[in-house]
Every structure is written in C-alpha cells, then in structure tokens.
Amino acid sequence: MEILSVQNIHKSYGAIKALKGVSFAVPEGAVFGILGPNGSGKTTLLGIVMNVLIANGGNYLWFGQEAADEQRKKIGTLLETPNFYHYLSGKQNLAITAAIQGHSPAGIDAVLQKVNLYERRDSRFSTYSLGMKQRLALAAALLGDPSVLVLDEPTNGLDPVGIAETRELIKLLASEGKTIILASHLLDEVEKVCTHVAILQRGDLITYGHVDEVLKNEDIVEISASDNDTLERIIKEYSAQYTLKRDGNYVQLFFQPGTANLDQINRFCFERGIVLNHLRLKKKSLESKFFELTHGSSVN
C-alpha cells in the first residue's frame, strides 16, 4: 500500500521555482528520507502535503485518497522548531497540545515513556536539553497514536548525543510499524535510519528508491593501456556484472561492492594481448554518490 503518492508537484514563489514536477511514492512501513541540500525544496514539499502550502500544480494522495481532515488525524507532524511554553512542564505542554489537536489526554504518559521523558514529565520545559526538547516535540507528534509521522529536519541543531537519541527513537518507531517521512540535508542521517530516499536538488527530483539502491557503495576499477580504445572494446567481453565508463585517460568498471577481482581482470586483458599500465581498485563512498547525484559530476 502507498501511504503517500506525490504526483507532478510544482511550486513557485514568484520567479523562483521551488518544486519542478516532483513525483514519488512512499510505501507503507517505510522510513522515507527526502534528502537534499538547503534550498532544494524539502520543506516546501512537506508543507504542501500537510496542507500548509498550496501547490501551483500537481496532486498528492494520502492512503490512496484525496487529502482530507480525517486522513490527517492519522499523521503526526514535526514541521518546525518546537513551540512550547517554557514555564510549563513537559506533561502540561503535552496536555495543551492534546487539547488543541482534539486528542485524549489519556495517552500523554504513554508517549512520554516512549520518548524516554517520563521521569522528567514534571520538569519545566526551560530545564530541558535540546535533545529533550526535540523528544518532547516527537511526543507531541505521537499523540493520538498516528500511523504516519512527517518530520522536517528532526535532528537539526542537536548535539551528537541528541542526534543519536533522536535517531534511535525514529528506528524504534519504525520497528513498531509506523511509516515515517523525514526531510534532511544530512546524508549520514538518511543512511542510518531510512529505508527509502528521494533526492532533491533545486526543486528537481534527482532520483528516488530504496536506500541500498540509490546510495549503494560501489567498487570502481580503473584500468588503462597504451590503446584505451582497444582496451574498452576487449573489456566489454569480460563476463562479470559491471557498468563501464570512460573517464579521461582511464576506463572505469563499476562493480557491486566486494565483487571486483583485479587478478582476473588483469589476466583477462593479458590473455587477449592487452598489457595494462594502470590497474587500481577504488571505493565510491556514499558522500561521492550523493555529490554526484546533486551536482551532476563525480568526485573521486
């Protein structure tokens, strides 16, 4: 089942095109990361699907249907900096949030336990660390036990401890069957917590799919000979699974991680009369892959 289907969404602010025909689908149970540098359109997209902003074109469906208030009750959101009363306790702040959202206060203790704030439930919000404040915001998003969470930069501004706490909480919620959609500019965050990813750059959808496919590591074998044209023709007969690319003075072979065999490649070429003057194994990092996807060129 598709939890969210985004169909050719366009959004402009005057002459600035924030989103340029973005389309993707979020499967049920996924932790779906919307990844991109600042200014790529992530927050605008989340604002549209949560009906905070109006698109100039395109459409989106929640749970296979046109968006409606009843559907949004199944969705918990964290779209901006938490806005709580500093002089009230965590529990008191959640009681106010529950009343505003029309949820029963009966679930407050449960969500506080879920985010590991129950022991500090009666402490004033002003005494909370940044990580605790963010966890309280997640507790607010969990009121009413939504099946879907939409989170905009959930670790933004946190110290390493707060980042780790928030990521572990996201993984816990995902393990309980919730579908989570989060925007982030951090590749590391998407790699560690997400199952699927859509990559945006300046309003364009670069690619989307399973994280293991979109951001997979690769073995890159660089080879060259005195006649690279002949080398390229010969190496195309090599039986292993790979893709080929010419890069300056080198022929590059891209393999699945751990499958490149330099001895076999060298022997294959030698037996066909090609003596390699360069043979090197490189690993393409996730950072390089992300840079390539968002800038249109590879970084070695």
DSSP state of 135: H
Domains and CATH numbers, the chain: 2-214 (3.40.50.300), 218-284 (3.30.70)
CA distance 145 to 157: 26
Pairing relationship of beta strands 148-152 and 179-184 according to DSSP bridges? parallel
4: alpha, beta or left, given left = phi > 0 and alpha = psi -120 to 50? beta
| Residue from 239, 294, 243, 244 nearest 271 by CA | 239
pLDDT at 299 over 60: no
**How far apart are the two ends of the chain, measured CA to CA in Å?**
39
126 pLDDT band, cuts 50/70/90, is: very high
For the record, the structure tokens of 43 come out as 């927050």
Count CB neighbours of 220 within 10 A.
22
pTM: 0.77
**Amino acid, single-letter form, for residue 140:** A
CA 257 to each of CA 123, 181, 187, 246, 298: distance values in angstroms, whole numbers, following the listed order: 49, 28, 19, 20, 18
How many contiguous H segments (helices) and E segments (strands) does the chain have? 11, 14
Place of tokens 């080198």: 250
What average pLDDT does range 252-267 have in this prediction? 90
296 pLDDT band, cuts 50/70/90, is: low
Q: What is the pLDDT of residues 137-169, one digit of tens each?
A: 999 999 999 999 999 999 888 888 888 888 999
Q: What is the pLDDT of residues 170-228, one digit of tens each?
A: 999 999 999 999 999 988 889 889 999 999 999 999 889 998 878 777 788 999 999 99
Q: What is the pLDDT of residues 14-31, one digit of tens each?
A: 999 999 999 999 999 999
pLDDT at 57 over 90: yes
For the record, the structure tokens of 38 come out as 């600042």
| Residue from 196, 137, 188 nearest 167 by CA | 188
For the record, the structure tokens of 273 come out as 């009369």
16-21 LR contacts (CB < 8 Å, sep 24+): 17/203, 18/44, 18/203, 19/44, 19/45, 19/48, 19/55, 19/203, 20/202, 20/203, 20/204, 21/57, 21/58, 21/205
